[in-house]
């Protein structure tokens, strides 16, 4: 697909599909939709009302123009209630419009710049949201299909505006939207890949390929099992010991000249989680290829940094392994020593992610960043609390937390701050080690106690933990641009955070 912007008159532009919009409950049209309706003698409004089209979010109405204007068809997409209009409304409408365009085999699509200048939205942000919605809304993972045939995307998509003064802003938004969407797609592809073809070494190699494509703008360090032993990465090694595939620690570095700040993004990277000897029930294992989604989000975000060129040094870190069952598997009651020398009694081997993160967070601290953010499909408890569409966020720093909430809102990735409850820390005490990897509260407050466990490995560094267990893998479509499967949640929040801090 080729995206472009041009000044022009929507009612005079030849195309296979012309995309317009309306707010819910409209009685008359406004803006560009009104001008096209006028060119059609009011027929668009008449037909929309006759068909009881209400312009609710994620709804549309299509009609032939029969030569009344150069466009062959018009698609009217609903923006929902005007008072609720946001970038998320734009993403949703844009995704739906491209899906409809594919369904009719449209080759050339012309679209209004949804809501440009409306509700305080800047044309650049609006155009960015349009491209994100379109690209993510038609995403498919076809690598393992015997037939790769899918509905074809249009060859050309033009954002047309009557206001020539905003074309440069819209063009910049298009470029930004492509960067954000492509980074998200990298993460989606990694998470959707079956564990048999995404073993720890495969994730390392896929990361290598991404780094190579940046032509030296990102550097990479890889630590193998022998090196991890010398580094004292007992948590990662302990969880990995039941697998036939060796673990690795991967460190990506984006370091611009005269960087103002230094961030570390840390991702959980369990390429398959059987639960270990604390074996998961079969139905809970079906999508456990997703347990490396935190690392996938970090990889996706890192891939975009050379294009965004923020004046921030960013370190992307993950420790990758499988959590499998064998005669070598770590046993409930075993004790491991993390990289920061703290000892951990592993009483539940299915709470493995926090044990590997103990090492990767400790390693991140050694890079002396101004802030650490970790992303992990960590707890079912977070899903119980917030459902499957919301990230649970914990932080030891109010400013960091607020910045993440603002970035997540811009990204359209729902995020809710949960408390780090100090009095729950004592429930992680072990009789034989410094910490137990699970709380004595058992099922109560599991997301909180998991975050408190992680806090033990960030020293005094400002830090936030994003529990993405719910939205990382959509077991049902979450919206028009997030279909079944990997969502890439977290990528765009990290990128908004970096972009707005530059």
Residue 107 in any domain: the answer is yes
The reply to whether 193 and 299 lie within a common domain is: yes
Helix axes 43-50, 31-39, angle to 10 degrees: 100
Q: The whole model's pTM is what?
A: 0.97
Residue ranges making up the domain that contains 129: 2-162
The Cα angle at residue 451 between residues 445 and 453, in degrees rounded to 5: 100
Main-chain phi, psi angles of 480, to 5 degrees: -65, -20
Residue 174 in any domain: the answer is no
The reply to whether 220 and 129 lie within a common domain is: no
H or E element, residue 207: helix 200-213
The reply to whether 119 and 264 lie within a common domain is: no
Residue 170 in any domain: the answer is no
Residue 168 in any domain: the answer is no
Q: How far apart are CA 47 and CA 31, in angstroms?
A: 18
Is residue 268 annotated as a catalytic residue, yes or no? no
Residue 167 in any domain: the answer is no
The reply to whether 154 and 202 lie within a common domain is: no
Residue 175 in any domain: the answer is no
Q: Which of 73, 100, 188, 354 is catalytic?
A: 354
The reply to whether 7 and 120 lie within a common domain is: yes
Residue 321 in any domain: the answer is yes
What CA–CA distances, in Å, run from 310 to 5, 302, 417, 451?
Answer: 25, 11, 26, 29
Residue 172 in any domain: the answer is no
CATH of the domain at 266: 3.40.630.10
Q: How far apart are CA 169 and CA 189, in angstroms?
A: 30
Q: Give me the residues of the chain with pLDDT under 70, please.
A: 117-120
H or E element, residue 112: strand 108-112
The reply to whether 295 and 376 lie within a common domain is: yes
Q: Which of 175, 206, 255, 280 is catalytic?
A: 280
Q: Of the residues 129, 162, 195, which one is the last residue of a structural domain?
A: 162
Q: Of the residues 113, 129, 162, which one is the last residue of a structural domain?
A: 162
CATH of the domain at 68: 3.40.220.10
The reply to whether 337 and 444 lie within a common domain is: yes
Residues paired with residue 452 on neighbouring β-strands, in sequence order: none
The reply to whether 156 and 188 lie within a common domain is: no
The reply to whether 230 and 123 lie within a common domain is: no
The reply to whether 157 and 251 lie within a common domain is: no
Buried b (16+ CB within 10 A) or exposed e, 464-489: bbbbbbbbbbbeeebbbbbbebbbbb
Four-point Cα dihedral 165, 167, 172, 175, nearest 10: 170
Main-chain phi, psi angles of 252, to 5 degrees: -100, 140
pLDDT, residue 443, reads 79
pLDDT, residue 115, reads 81
Is residue 188 annotated as a catalytic residue, yes or no? no
The reply to whether 440 and 318 lie within a common domain is: yes
The reply to whether 290 and 358 lie within a common domain is: yes
As for how many domains the chain has, the answer is: 2
Q: Are 267 and 295 in contact (CB under 8 A)?
A: yes
pLDDT, residue 117, reads 62
Q: Of the residues 162, 195, 228, which one is the last residue of a structural domain?
A: 162
């Amino acid at each position: 697909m080729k995206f472009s912007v041009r000044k022009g008159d929507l009612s005079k532009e030849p195309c296979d599909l012309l995309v317009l919009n309306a707010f819910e409950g409209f009685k008359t049209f406004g803006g560009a939709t009104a001008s096209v309706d006028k060119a059609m003698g009011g027929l668009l409004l008449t037909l929309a009302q006759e068909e009881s089209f209400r312009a609710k979010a994620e709804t549309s109405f299509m009609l032939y123009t029969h030569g009344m204007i150069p466009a062959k068809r018009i698609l009217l997409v609903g923006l929902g209630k005007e008072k609720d209009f946001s970038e998320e409304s734009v993403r949703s409408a844009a995704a739906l419009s491209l899906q409809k365009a594919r369904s009719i085999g449209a080759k050339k699509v012309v679209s209004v710049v949804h809501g440009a200048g409306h509700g305080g939205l800047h044309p650049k942000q609006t155009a960015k949201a349009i491209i994100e919605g379109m690209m993510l809304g038609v995403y498919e993972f076809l690598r393992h299909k015997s037939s790769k045939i899918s509905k074809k995307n249009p060859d050309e998509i033009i954002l047309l505006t009557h206001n020539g003064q905003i074309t440069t802003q819209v063009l910049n938004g298009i470029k930004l939207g492509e960067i954000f969407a492509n980074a998200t797609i990298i993460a989606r592809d990694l998470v959707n890949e079956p564990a048999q073809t995404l073993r720890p070494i495969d994730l390392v190699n896929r990361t290598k390929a991404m780094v190579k494509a940046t032509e030296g703008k990102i550097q990479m360090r890889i630590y193998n099992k022998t090196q991890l032993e010398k580094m004292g990465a007992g948590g990662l090694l302990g969880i990995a010991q039941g697998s036939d595939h060796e673990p690795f620690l991967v460190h990506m570095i984006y370091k611009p000249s005269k960087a103002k700040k230094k961030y570390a993004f840390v991702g959980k990277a369990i390429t398959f989680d059987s639960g270990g000897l604390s074996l998961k029930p079969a139905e809970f294992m079906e999508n456990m290829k997703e347990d490396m989604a935190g690392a996938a989000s970090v990889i996706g975000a890192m891939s975009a940094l050379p294009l965004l060129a923020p004046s921030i040094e960013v370190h992307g870190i993950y420790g990758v392994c499988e959590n499998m069952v064998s005669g070598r598997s770590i046993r409930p009651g075993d004790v491991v020593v993390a990289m920061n020398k703290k000892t951990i009694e592993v009483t539940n081997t299915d709470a493995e992610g926090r044990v590997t993160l103990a090492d990767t967070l400790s390693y991140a601290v050694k890079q002396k960043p101004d802030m650490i953010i970790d992303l992990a499909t960590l707890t079912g408890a977070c899903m119980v609390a917030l459902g499957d569409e919301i990230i649970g966020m914990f932080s030891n720093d109010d400013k960091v937390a607020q910045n993440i909430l603002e970035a997540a809102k811009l990204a359209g990735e729902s995020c809710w701050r949960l408390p780090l409850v100090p009095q729950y820390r004592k429930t992680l005490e072990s009789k034989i080690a410094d910490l137990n990897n699970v709380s004595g509260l058992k099922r109560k407050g599991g997301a909180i106690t998991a975050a408190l466990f992680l806090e033990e490995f960030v020293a005094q560094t400002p830090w936030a933990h994003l529990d993405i267990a719910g939205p990382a893998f959509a077991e049902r479509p979450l919206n028009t641009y997030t279909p079944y499967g990997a969502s890439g949640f977290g990528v765009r929040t990290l990128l908004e955070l970096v972009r707005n801090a530059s």
